[in-house]
Amino acid sequence: ETGVTQSPTHLIKTRGQQVTLRCSSQSGHNTVSWYQQALGQGPQFIFQYYREEENGRGNFPPRFSGLQFPNYSSELNVNALELDDSALYLCARRGGITSTDTQYFGPGTRLTVL
């Protein structure tokens, strides 16, 4: 049990629409990361939030944006959806306070863009 939850579980959108995915953590920690996992591939880092500010970004365009709230919950927003945005979206919380800590992942949101 990682203590990380995500909603919704599944989502279907059409091309050009906007979507908001949510992530919450039972235990408070000030770092959350988002990943995109296309079918049959490993997850790719989208960005990280630390103390409610973006603090590191992968190779994703600005239409991928996020928010982190004081209660450590987080949102991933994707504008102008494209077919290639269809994927499993995972959020992860930092597991500890040392350099050896890991990332604990939520169950993911499966987004389908038609």
Partner 1 sequence: AQKITQTQPGMFVQEKEAVTLDCTYDTSDPSYGLFWYKQPSSGEMIFLIYQGSYDQQNATEGRYSLNFQKARKSANLVISASQLGDSAMYFCAMREGLGGTSYGKLTFGQGTILTVHP
CA angle 94, 96, 99 (to 5 degrees): 95
The interface region with partner 1, picked from 11-19, 25-33, 62-70, 73-81 by CB under 8 A, is: 25-33
What residues contact 107, with CB distance under 8 A and at least 6 apart?
A: 4, 5, 6, 9
| Residue owning tokens 């992942």 | 105
- To partner 1, the closest distance from the beta carbon of 114 in angstroms equals 20
Residue pair 12/112 in contact by the 8 Å Cβ criterion:
yes
The interface region with partner 1, picked from 14-22, 29-37, 63-71, 78-86 by CB under 8 A, is: 29-37
Q: Which positions lie near partner 1, rule CB under 8 A? A: 2, 31-33, 35, 41-45, 48, 50, 55-56, 58, 88, 90, 92, 94-95, 99-108, 110
